[in-house]
Structures are given as structure tokens and as C-alpha cells.
Structure 1
Amino acid sequence: MSSSDIFFGEVLGTAVLILLGGGVVAGTVLKKSKSFEAGWVVIALGWGMAVLTGAYASTQLSGAHINPAVTLGIAIDTGEWGDVPTYVAGQMLGAMIGAVLVWLAYYGHFQEHLLAREEVSGSVTPGPRAFDEGAKRTAERRPSDPSQPGPVLGIFSTAPEIRNTVQNLATEIIATAVLVIGVLTIGVNDDLALSGTGPLMVALIVLGIGLSLGGPTGYAINPARDLGPRIVHALLPLPNKGGSDWGYSWIPVVGPLIGAAIGATIFNLLF
């Protein structure tokens, strides 16, 4: 594979990953969406299908890493580090493109969700057109401190349900170690490689991780998936969006990288 194939393959695959993964979250979070409040199982299924589609889109060009943690795990396993920067650059750019596409696809819903109702200093205040439906609308909280995470940040990046640095970091490490062990194990299975079902198996692993280990932190398990869209959230002209939670942002980057290193080390010791 040439460097250009790797770069553009990772851009394409990661953009598709974030478009479909961020899209399923947007559909369940944003008002007026047909899948509004569909729940966690739908989100986990959507992310699994996002991995499947992104992997198949890029597998012929770059091998479909679409995740710096996977790239790190493979590099540790094979000892080949020369293309790692190219992979990560493509993944970051693709993640940012995918996040922008989610915003464009749901543009009107972002406006509706963020402007319909606001809560300022403890009182609910109607926003534009809020009088049309009055009490039928769900009150939306507007952060009194713009630096605090806003009501749509979860569409772009992850956040913990309980903020505990050690626990949050451990969750991301464990979940990513499982992912990398699974990816590397699939990679040495010749039957899966020949049949082309490897991406399907990885997608099912991600689905399983989401259902089993996704509850505490939202299972980033992918530094580009979290950091790229978080940067886009910070840059987009979204009204009342709140902050991008930069104080937490290092955990879904460092945790998956540590988990990848542990997963690859365990794989090497056993296989």
C-alpha cells in the first residue's frame, strides 16, 4: 500500500465511521428526529454498523484501521512503525470531516434542539418559536457557564456518567484492550481474511463492547473518534452549545492508547 492509499483510505473510512456513528447519536438526541429517544441499544447497534461500513469502505486502500489505537496495536505486533503517522493523520482528518457531515445532515435539528427552550438561572425561558407548542416541548438546559459541557456535546464526543479519573481511564483501557486483542486475533485467522468477513467480526466486537462496557464512559476506544469531533464541536457555530469538556478530553485519547499497548502485548505473549 502506498502512503497516499493509506492516507485517503483512512480519511474515507474514518469519515464514514463518524458520519454514521455520530449520526445515530444525533438521531436519538435531537428533537424532531424520527429516532428521538430511541435509547442506548440503538446507539450501540448504530456504532457497530458504522464500524462495519467504514471498514469495508477503506479495507482495500489502507487495511481499515480507522482508529489510532488499532494502528498502535498492529505496529506493536508487527514492529512496522513507518506508516503510523500517515494512518493517524488520515484518521484525524476523516473524523473531523465525518463530524462536520453529521452537523450538516442534522443542521435544522441542532437549531431546533438548542434554540427551542432554554433554562437560564433556574427558570425556563422560551426561545424562538417556543410559544407555538408551549409546554409540549421538553425544556433544554443552557449551561450558565459556557465552559461547561453543553447539551449536544455527546453527539461529537464521549463523556462519563460518573466523573472519576481512575475509573474512567480504566474503563477505556479495558475496553480498548479487548478491541485490539480481537482485531489482532481476527488478523491471524486466514479463513476470515480470505472470506472478507474480518470487518464484520470487528463490528460485532465493537457492538459487544458498546453493550457491555459502554455504559460508564460512552466507549470512545478510538482517540481520533473522540478528539477530532470534539475539535469540530469547539469550532462549529452552534447556538448555546456550551463547552467542549477539554478537562476530560485526554482520557478518551490516553486510555485507548494504553489499552492498545496492553492488548497487543497480551496478544504477542499468547500467540
Structure 2
Amino acid sequence: MHEYFGEFMGTVVLIVLGTGVGASVNLNKAYAKGSSWLFITIGWGLAVTFGVYVSGFIGSQGHLNPAITLAFAAFGMFPKSKVLGYLIAQFLGAFVGAAIVALQFYPHFKESKNEAQGNTVGIFGTVPAIKNPLFNFISEMIATFFFVYILLDLGNFTTGLKPLIVGLVILVIGQALGSTTGYSLNPCRDLSPRLAYKLLPIPNKGDAHLEYAWVPFIGPIAGAMLAGLIFTLV
């Protein structure tokens, strides 16, 4: 159970820090409101770094991402018997992390009266810069492919300074490929916080845009599977 708890806690850390950046940048009267894309990508990179550190210390393999778990299992790099436990831990951890951020920023949600004032699902989930589901899907697939393919070359990425390397990969993927869709790269990073925004009593909240949720869910899985296939063939 330590392994599953590690995956849960690592995902909580990832989402608290990552969506906390989203809240800080968007919500009224937050000191970081209006900060740059660089601010956001650095924040998410460090969120992943410390999520992996926490996860690995407790005893997990530090996936924090169903796309990674499924791809590694599909190509013999992770025991299939552990997949369900990892997925439950990841999706639950992401929801809990989003709920913590909703509580932390509750007064700022009250001060942000509508989507125009920053009270948007984009705090928790991803929103495309140009809404085109086909190309949004392709963008998520490409970005996740390069993320996971690089990750595979790192071996055990929970040891030493490797979590920092993973965070730097997230940073450069965000800078290079993430500005089209907000780069989910991770089904639970998008779906669970999106559902939290939909279900929790957050003041003045806007539309959760569940009709878009399949893109940041399926796109990363497709990209991770392609990365696993090419890595295995090579």
C-alpha cells in the first residue's frame, strides 16, 4: 500500500502546486495575477519535480500520470497487476489536490465574478488557445509523445536529481509545444481537477467545458503509447 499511497501523495503535490499556479495567475487580487507563460511553465515544471520526489520517497515509481502507467504496462515496463491501483491513486490524488486549491483560493474566487475576471476552468484543466478538437488532440499527442519518449531514456526517474530533470522536461515541453492547448500531458491532471471545478461549491465559477475533456484525456494516452512503441522497437 505504500506504493499506492506514494502515487496518491505525489499526485496531490503535483496538482496543488500546478493548479495553485493557475489560480494565482487568474484570480482577482492574487499577487501573481496576469503573470507570464514562463511563470506558468516554471511552476508546472517544479510541481512535477516535487511530486515525483515525494512519490519516490514514499515508495512509488512516480508516474503521477495514467498515460505513463498505461504505456509502461502495455510495453512490459510496469506490472499490469498494479495498473488499477496506480490509476485510482492518480485520479483520486488529482481531485483532492484540486479541492485543496479551491479551499486555499476561496476568497479570490468570490472576488472573481465571472470568466472574464479569471474564474475559469482553465485554473484547473486545460483550455485550447484555438478550439479545434482534431488539432488540439494532435497537439496533446505530440507533446506527450516527446515527454514520455524522453522520460523513457531516463530510466528510474525518482532517484537522485532525475526528478529535477523531469521537471525541466516539463518546462521545455511547455515552452516549445504547450502554448496551443495548455499541455495536459496527463489525463488525471486535467479530468479530476475539471470535475472538481464542476462539482465543488466554488463561487462564481464558469463552465467546466466537459465536452472538451476527451482531448486532454485521450491525446496524452495516444502520445504515451506511441512513445512506448517506438522506444521498444528501437
Shorter-chain TM-score bucket reads over 0.9
Structure 2 residue corresponding to 1:181, chosen from 143, 149, 161 = 149
Quote the residue 2:216 is aligned against: 252
Quote the residue 1:12 is aligned against: 9
Separation of aligned partners in 2, 1:163 and 1:89: 30
1:215, CA displacement in angstroms? 0.7
Contact 2:10 2:54 in 1 (8 A): yes
1:113, CA displacement in angstroms? 1.1
Quote the residue 1:94 is aligned against: 93
Task: Give 3-state SS (helix, strand or coil) of 1:78's partner.
Answer: coil
Report Cα offsets for 1:61-94 as digits up to 9, x if no partner. Answer: 1111101111122213325311111111000010
1:196, CA displacement in angstroms? 1.1
Separation of aligned partners in 1, 2:36 and 2:112: 17
- Higher RCO structure, 1 or 2 (CA under 8 Å, sep 6+): 2
1:237, CA displacement in angstroms? 1.3
Contact 1:9 1:58 in 2 (8 A): yes
Structure 1 residue corresponding to 2:48, chosen from 45, 48, 51 = 51
Unaligned runs of 5+ in 2: none
Contact 1:55 1:65 in 2 (8 A): yes
Task: Give 3-state SS (helix, strand or coil) of 1:163's partner.
Answer: coil
Determine if the alignment matches structure 1 residue 29 to structure 2 residue 26: yes
1:268, CA displacement in angstroms? 0.8
Determine if the alignment matches structure 1 residue 238 to structure 2 residue 202: yes
Separation of aligned partners in 1, 2:107 and 2:168: 32
RMSD of aligned C-alpha atoms? 1.7
Tell me which protein shows more helix as a share of its residues. 2
Separation of aligned partners in 1, 2:120 and 2:190: 14
Separation of aligned partners in 2, 1:105 and 1:215: 27
Q: Give 1 or 2 for the bigger CA radius of gyration.
A: 1
Separation of aligned partners in 1, 2:202 and 2:93: 21
Report Cα offsets for 1:127-169 as digits up to 9, x if no partner. Answer: xxxxxxxxxxxxx648xxxxxxx83211110011111111000
Quote the residue 2:81 is aligned against: 82
Contact 1:67 1:222 in 2 (8 A): yes
Q: Percent identity, please.
A: 44
Q: TM-score, normalised by structure 1?
A: 0.82
Q: TM-score, normalised by structure 2?
A: 0.94
1:52-201 aligned at under 5 Å gives the runs: 52-60=49-57, 61-78=59-76, 80-114=79-113, 141=116, 151-187=119-155, 196-201=160-165
Unaligned runs of 5+ in 1: 119-139, 143-149
Separation of aligned partners in 2, 1:104 and 1:78: 40
Task: Give 3-state SS (helix, strand or coil) of 2:112's partner.
Answer: helix
